[in-house]
Amino acid sequence: MLATFYDISIERAFTLLAASKTGLSDAEAASRISRYGYNELPKVGGPGIFSLFVSQFRNFLIILLLFAVGLSVFLGEFIEAGAMLSIVLLSALLGFVQEFRAERAMEALERISAPTARVVRSGRELKIAARELVPGDVLVLEAGDIVPSDSRMFESFSMQIDEAALTGESLPSLKVTVPFKRGTTLADQENMAFMGTVVTYGKGRAVVTATGRRTEFGRIASSLALDVESKTPLQVSFERLARQIGLAVIVLVFFVFVGGMLGGESSLARMLVFALSLAVAAVPSALPAIVTISLAMGAKSLAARNMIIKKLPAAESLGSVSIICTDKTGTITRNQMTVTRILSEGRVFGVSGTGYEPVGKFLLDGKEVGTGHFELLLRAGCLCNNASLSNSGNRWEVIGDPTEGALVVLGEKGGVASGQLRERFELVQELPFDPERKMMSVIYRRRGSRDAAAYVKGAPDVLLRNCDRIFSGGRVVRMSESDRKSIMDANDAFARDALRVLAIAYRELPPLRQYDISSVEDCLVFIGLVGMIDPPRPEVAAAVEQCRSAGIKVMIITGDHAVTAASVAKSIGLFSEGDVVLTGDEVERLSEAELAKVIGQVRIIARALPIQKSKVVDALKHNGHIVAMTGDGVNDAPALKKADVGIAMGITGTDIAKEVSKCVLADDNFASIVNAVLEGRNIYDKLIKSTRYLLSCNMGEIIAVFLAVMLRFPLPLAPLQLLLMNLVTDGVPAMGLGVEPAESNVMRRSPRSRGEKPITGRSLLMISLFGIVMGAGTLFTFSLYSATNLALAQTVAFTTIVMFEMFAVLGSRSLAPFSKLNPFSNKWLLGGVVLSVAIQVAVIYWHPLQSVFGTVPLGLPEWFRILSVSVLGFVLMEMGKFLVQQPTIAKGTKS
C-alpha cells in the first residue's frame, strides 16, 4: 500500500484498505496474499562460503603475487611457484576465517520478525502465522507482543510500544487513535504500530497497513541489500601501492631487457630470464600474509579491549577515524531512566546514583538528608506503578515501563521497597493511564483495614488543576496560588534541564467496593514532582575529551528531541555556545551540497530517521572524514553499513546492527572506542613499518640484480634464494614488527586524511637510500668472488642481503634513532631475527639445503666482509633516519 495512514481518520483508513473492524474473510485474506505476497522481509543473504573465499583474492597485491607465480611457472621454477601460491592461500584463508560470519544481515532481520499474530477474521479472533498477514487484517495486541506488521491503531487502552530499536526513542510511545498532520516524523506517529517493535503496556487493536518489504523494517532491509560496502582507507591505500609496485616492475623489466640487448647481450633467452627473475624479486611476496597476520593479531588485541572485529581491515580503520557519529540512547546514555531531582514540601532535593542500581543519596544544598521529608512521595510513586526491579547476574533490570521503573528505583534508594509495600497494601482498583486524562490512578487499602487511598501520577499541568490541597510540613493544608506558581516554576526549571517531569498526588477515600474516576481524581492532595532523565554513562565525558585530544570529532545523531540531546551533550562536554543542532527534517530539506557546507559546525542531529543518518554519513565522507558510526538499533543499520567503521553495541545491540557492522563493542562502553582507536593507530603504524621494511629489502634485491645485469655480471642471486628471502628471512622478522609497542605520541597526532599514502615521499627516500646501500654492498661482496667461484659469490651475496635485512628490521622499529629504543622491549622481533639467522646458517652449512639453494659453506674471512658491509649499511641507515626524519618526529607526526 502506497498511501500514508497516520494522517487520515480510521474510517478513511478502513475505506482505503477495503476492510472493517470485523476483519477480512479467509477467502479475501488468501486473495490478498496473492496480490501483496507473504509478510516476509526480502531474502538477500550475504555471500556463500565459496564466494566469501574468492573475495579474498580481489586484492591487487594478491593479483600481483599470482602474476609472479605465473612467471615462476613460465621459468620452470615450480618449487618457487608452489611456495608463493602457499603464501597466497594462507593469506586468503586467514581473511576468510575472520569474515565468515560477517554478512548475515537479512537472517538477523528475519529473527526479529514476530512468528505469530492474533487477528480478527470474519468476526472471530484467532492466531495465525505472522507471514500470512495481509493489509486490511485486524491485529489484536497486548503487553509482551512483538508487532508483526506496520498497522494503524483504532483502539488503544493505555497501550505503549517500545520503538527504540526503530526510532531511537528512549521512552515507550503511548498509542492513540487520532490522526496527525501530514509530515509528522516517524517517531511522532503515535497512531501507528511498526513491525518489530514491542508492546510494553496496555492493549489495543490496529488494522494492518503494510507487510513485508513495504514496512519500515522492510525499507531498511532493502536499503541494506542494495548498499555496496565501501573499501576501507587501508584497502584503498594498499591497492594503490600494489598498482605502483606493479607499474614499477613493468618499467624496470622493460629497461633491464632493453638495456641488456642494447649493451651487446646476444642471447635473447638469457635476457628474458634475467628480466623475469628481476620481476619476481621486485614483488614483496610476504607482504599480503604480513598484512593479514598483522590485522589478525591486531583484531585479537582489540578483542582484549572489548572491540570485536568482524572485517579484518576495520582493525586498522579504527585508527584512521576522524569523526564518531554516535546514537544517544544506550550508547552515550545508559538507556535507564533515572530520577535525579524531586520537589517535596516546597524544596528541591537532588538524587545521586545512575541507572537501575538502587544505590544513591538524597541531597539538599549538597548535603545528605534523610527520607522522612518525602516518604509519602516515595510510597505513592511505588504504588502507582506496574514495574518491578530485578537483579540478574549483578545486572539490574526493570521489568515494565522505564518511567515507572525509575520510580521503583527511587523508592528502593529511600528504603521504600515496592514488594514490601504490596504485602502491606492491597490493590482495590486501577485506573490506567489515558492520553486524554494524562494521569494514572490506583486505589489501595491497607491490609486488615477498610481505609483506602488513591495515588495518582501524571502530567504536572493537568494533575495540578485537580489539586486543591498540598502536603506540607507533615500535614495537609489548603493550596494557595503562590504554591501553584512555585510548583509550576519548579516544573519549568526541571524541563529546561531536559528532565521528564511527573507530578504525584493522593487522596483518602471512603471504604467503597467500586470508585468512579471523576470522584477519585478530583480534590487531590499534591505531594511533589519527580524529574528524571536517561543519564550519560559516567565514563563518557572522559572518553569525549580523549577523542578531542586525538583530533577526533564526536557527533550525536539521535531520534530524541533536540533539547534532551543538547542537555546530555552539554553534560559530557560535547556541546557549547556556537555549536549547531540540526533536526532530521532540516537534514532532509538540505541538498547534499548544502549539508556538506554546514556539517562541520554540527554537533547534534536530533529527530533523525535512518535515511537521514545515512545522508549525514555521506556528507561527512564528502568532506574527507573517515567516519565511525556507533549504534544499537535497527534504525542505525543503514548508516552502520555505509560508515567507514560501523560499531554495534554488543549488549544492547540488535542482531541486525551487529551483523551489518564491521566491529562490535562487547561492553557497550563508549570509552572502549578510545582504547580501540589507540590500538588501531598502532596497528597502522606496525603495518607501515613492516611495509617500509619489506620494500627496503626488495629495493636492495632489485638494485643488486639490476646493477649485475647492467654491468654484465652473472646473476648474483638464484631464484630460490630470492624466494627464501622474500618469504622467510625478511618475512619472519616483519611479523615481529607486528607486535611492536605503541609509540608515545600515537594519540597526540591528528587523524590521517582519507587520501594519505602508506608510503610518503620521505619514506620512499629512506627506502631508496637503504636499497642503494644494500644493493651496492651486496654487489661489492659478490664481485670479490664472482670471477673465481660463482657458487661462493652467490652464497656471499645471498648472506650479505640477509644480514642487511636483519639490521634493517632493528632500525625499522621506529623513526627515532635506534639508540633511544629499548633493544629488548620486543622479544618477538628478536626471536624472529634469531630464527632468520638460524635458517640462513642452516641453508649455508646443512648439505640437504645446500643442494636445494645452491649454497656453499662460508669461512671467517667471508663472514667478516659480510658483517662489515651490512653494519656499515645500518650506520648509514641511522644517519639517514636522523637527517631526513628527525624533524617529523620532533613534531609528533607520522612521515
- Identify the three-state secondary structure at position 527: strand
Write down the pLDDT at residue 146.
85
**At 255, is the secondary structure helix, strand, or coil?**
helix
Residue 697, H or E segment? helix 670-710
Q: Tell me which architecture the domain covering 299-305+677-890 has in CATH.
A: Up-down Bundle (1.20)
Q: How far is CA 509 from CA 33, 255, 376, 423, in A?
A: 55, 103, 16, 20
Report d(CA 608, CA 558) in Å as an integer.
Answer: 6
The set of cell numbers assigned to 53 is: 573465499
What pairs with residue 324 in β-bridges? 554, 628
> Which candidate in 137, 145, 150, 327 is catalytic?
327
C-alpha–C-alpha distance, residues 502 and 461, integer Å: 10
- Helix ranges restricted to H, 158-267: 164-167, 216-226, 233-262
Cell 548508516 -> residue: 639
- Where do the domains of the chain lie? 10-43+107-226, 299-305+677-890, 316-333+538-668, 338-533
pLDDT score, position 638: 78
Per-residue confidence (pLDDT) for residue 893, from 0 to 100 = 37
- Domain 316-333+538-668 and domain 338-533, same fold? Reply is no
Mean pLDDT in order along the chain per 10 residues (895 residues) = 84 94 94 92 58 65 70 70 70 59 43 71 91 95 88 92 76 89 89 89 92 85 60 69 75 73 61 63 69 76 82 79 86 88 94 92 91 90 91 82 92 90 89 81 89 93 94 92 95 91 94 77 95 89 88 88 88 87 91 91 86 87 91 76 86 73 82 85 86 86 82 80 76 82 78 76 81 92 92 95 92 77 84 92 93 91 94 82 51 38
pLDDT computed for residue 264 by the predictor: 60
10-43+107-226 to CATH, choices 1.10.220.10, 1.10.10.10, 2.60.40.1220, 2.70.150.10? 2.70.150.10
Looking at residue 263, what is its pLDDT?
61
Instruction: Give residue 60's pLDDT.
Output: 59
3-class DSSP state for residue 267? coil
Q: What is the three-class DSSP state of 136?
A: coil
Q: Please state, in angstroms and rounded to a whole number, the distance separating the CA atoms of residues 848 and 839.
A: 13
Look at residue 229 in the predicted model and tell me its pLDDT: 57
Sign of CA dihedral 142, 144, 145, 151: positive
Half-sphere exposure of 73 (CA within 13 A, CB side): 9
Q: 166-176 b/e with 16+ CB inside 10 Å = b?
A: bbbbbbbbbbb
Whole-Å CA distances, 802 to 185, 708, 733, 797, 874: 67, 18, 11, 9, 13
Contacts of 227 (CB under 8 A, 6+ apart): 638, 641, 642
Q: What angle do CA 81, 87, 91 make, to 5 degrees?
A: 145
User: For residue 219, what are the CA distances in angstroms to 27, 105, 215, 596?
Assistant: 28, 14, 6, 25
> From CA 474, how far away is CA 895, in angstroms rounded?
72
Q: Which CATH number fits domain 338-533: 3.40.718.10, 3.40.1110.10, 3.90.320.10, 3.30.1330.60?
A: 3.40.1110.10
Distance of CA 875 to the CA centre of its chain: 45
How much is the pLDDT for 891? 40
pLDDT of amino acid 34: 92
φ, ψ (nearest 5 deg) of residue 251: -65, -45
Q: What is the pLDDT of residue 892?
A: 40
Q: Are 16 and 207 in contact (CB under 8 A)?
A: no
At residue 267, the pLDDT reads 59
Q: Rounded to whole angstroms, what are the CA distances from 841 to 703, 846, 858? A: 24, 8, 10
CATH topology of domain 316-333+538-668: Rossmann fold (3.40.50)
- Is-catalytic flag, 26? no
- The strand pair at 150-162 and 198-210 is best described as antiparallel
